[in-house]
Amino acid sequence: MSTMSMTASKLLAKMSSGEISSEEITSACLNEISRRDASINAFLSVQQEAALEKAREVDQKRKAGKPLGKLAGIPIALKDNICTEGVNTTCASKMLEHFVPPYDAHIVERLKAADAVLIGKTNQDEFAMGSSTENSAFKTTTNPWNNTCAAGGSSGGSAAAVAAGFAPLALGSDTGGSIRQPASFCGVVGLKPTYGRVSRYGLIAFASSLDQIGPFARDVTDAALIMETIAGKDHRDTTSLDAAVPEFTSKLEQPLENLKVGYVEHLQEEGLHEEVKEATLRALDVYKSLGAELVPIELPHAKYCVATYYIIAPSEASSNLARYDGVHYGYRAKDFENMIDMYAASRGEAFGDEVKRRIMLGTYALSSGYYDAYYLKALKVRRLIRNDFEQAFQSVDIIASPVTPTPAFTIGELVDDPLAMYLADIFTTSANLSGIPGISIPAGFSQNNLPIGLQLLAPPLEEERLLRAARMFERETEWHLKHPK
């Protein structure tokens, strides 16, 4: 097994036994990036020098027997909407192309304190709006399994980086599926924690009530490991939850007893790819074989998720993105006649089509006269969706479903059909709307050798249950051990 396909846990063990140094691991990652990222385009920037310096520092600390953080010496890639002090944070937008934050996001502080090695900032859809990274202002990330296919999005760069062997761990953000969908497309583990589990301080907002930071990893254990570092209350984010953070890795190998797995029998059968359906049913069989009870459930309002999501997310986005006006920082147009013109020209030139589309949708939905019919109505439906899950979790422990209706689509296939792209969010948006945790784990391959993911959902703050259930499946299967050539 090459270093490039090892998990972070394995690498940590090898570092502590002295078999390998952080500098060697980091160099290996950097070499892979420089060798192959020109075709994959996972990274927008690579912090080569800083990463090597940190790796050497960790190696020295280890040699000197000094205390080390939980992720000491492990290279980690960050989505480029997570603020890093002194390092460009662009959101893959021309608007923030040259924006250098004067501060670190909360989770960046935590990763640094845990002695992680931050190697680079990954590509994404502009301002996290999209499902393919095709909306990046700079480049399109390709799927490491097939370079004509999309890596998914919006956190496509992070997913591809982990799948391609550029970094054992990466962080992304998930507003409507932006971690789980690319994880599924790229055949890695992607976790969206409970809303409020991980501080959003320093995550550049897309839709504040839905955004949540989470990890990409090569297996469930690694996802649990990094969660121990990034989860927890942060007083700078008042929506972050004041709940104890379990040691997620400690009980991971203990199977859940009397597990009840919920599933929806006829959810969106039309449009659901046959191979995805088969993989999902196979996964349910795996749980059954492990002694779990399969329980059909009803989520009566699930069919409204996409519509609800595409009112709430753009509404919040229209407000969150209003600050990019060319006055204080970011892109400013060169030619303009007056103040209003400067606003219009700066925003017109620096935002891409999808961002503009969503700003317009949201502005419309919040306008006086439409607010009640759209935004307020969407909030009410959101409450009903949340109630559906509360109800369902009365009788089941977790819910299993597909992540996406199809395996990775071809780059360019849906670019001109935003609605089809939106509708593919059918299985993922519900977790954001209801604030519950969700995970995507490798669960099969299509005939074209493209990964297929399985989504598991759990009640709020039940990441531990979610991770243990995922690990039960992972122990029985080998999908996560396959790597792209």
C-beta separation of 248 from 463 below 8 A: yes
Q: How far apart are CA 374 and CA 432, in angstroms?
A: 18
208 binds another protein (CB under 8 A): yes
C-beta separation of 234 from 240 below 8 A: yes
Min dist. Cβ of residue 95 to another protein (A)? 10
3-state DSSP percent of the chain in helix, strand and coil, to 5? 40, 15, 45
Instruction: Using CB under 8 A, pick the residue from 75, 120, 177, 202 that binds another protein.
Output: 202
Min dist. Cβ of residue 279 to another protein (A)? 35
367 is catalytic: no
Side-chain half-sphere exposure of 130, counting CA atoms within 13 A = 37
408 binds another protein (CB under 8 A): no
Tokens 């020109």, located at residue: 38
Compare residues 105 and 116 and give the one whose CB is closer to another protein.
105
C-beta separation of 130 from 137 below 8 A: no
Instruction: Using CB under 8 A, pick the residue from 328, 335, 447, 485 that binds another protein.
Output: 328
Instruction: Using CB under 8 A, pick the residue from 2, 238, 338, 447 that binds another protein.
Output: 238
Query: 104 — phi, psi (to 5°)?
Result: -95, 145
Crossing angle of helices 48-63 and 22-40, in 10° steps, is: 160
Compare residues 20 and 366 and give the one whose CB is closer to another protein.
366
Instruction: Using CB under 8 A, pick the residue from 30, 149, 170, 203 that binds another protein.
Output: 203
| Residues ≥6 apart with Cβ < 8 Å to 387 | 301
432 binds another protein (CB under 8 A): no
Compare residues 46 and 366 and give the one whose CB is closer to another protein.
366
A 10 A CB-CB count for 109 gives: 16
Compare residues 82 and 149 and give the one whose CB is closer to another protein.
82
240 is catalytic: no
Crossing angle of helices 8-16 and 220-230, in 10° steps, is: 80
239 binds another protein (CB under 8 A): yes
- From 9, 173, 178, 401, the catalytic residue: 178
Crossing angle of helices 106-113 and 220-230, in 10° steps, is: 110
Coil, helix or strand at residue 116: coil
Min dist. Cβ of residue 349 to another protein (A)? 17
Region from 109-117, 139-147, 363-371, 466-474 binding another protein, contact rule CB under 8 A: 363-371
Instruction: Using CB under 8 A, pick the residue from 11, 129, 159, 205 that binds another protein.
Output: 205
C-beta separation of 100 from 87 below 8 A: yes
94 is catalytic: no
Look up residue 383 and give its two tokens: 């409450």
89 binds another protein (CB under 8 A): yes
Look up residue 71 and give its two tokens: 């992720």
Compare residues 99 and 138 and give the one whose CB is closer to another protein.
99
Region from 117-125, 196-204, 261-269, 274-282 binding another protein, contact rule CB under 8 A: 196-204
79 binds another protein (CB under 8 A): no
Query: 243 — phi, psi (to 5°)?
Result: -125, 145
Task: Please list the alpha-helical segments (H only) found in 351-376.
Answer: 353-366
304 binds another protein (CB under 8 A): no
Region from 12-20, 93-101, 151-159, 401-409 binding another protein, contact rule CB under 8 A: 93-101
Q: How far apart are CA 473 and CA 219, in angstroms?
A: 11
- From 10, 54, 70, 79, the catalytic residue: 79
Catalytic site positions: 79, 154, 178
Q: Which residues bind another protein (CB under 8 A)?
A: 81-83, 89, 91, 96, 99, 101-103, 105, 200-205, 207-209, 235-239, 315-316, 318-319, 322-323, 325, 327-329, 339-340, 343, 363, 366-368, 371, 375
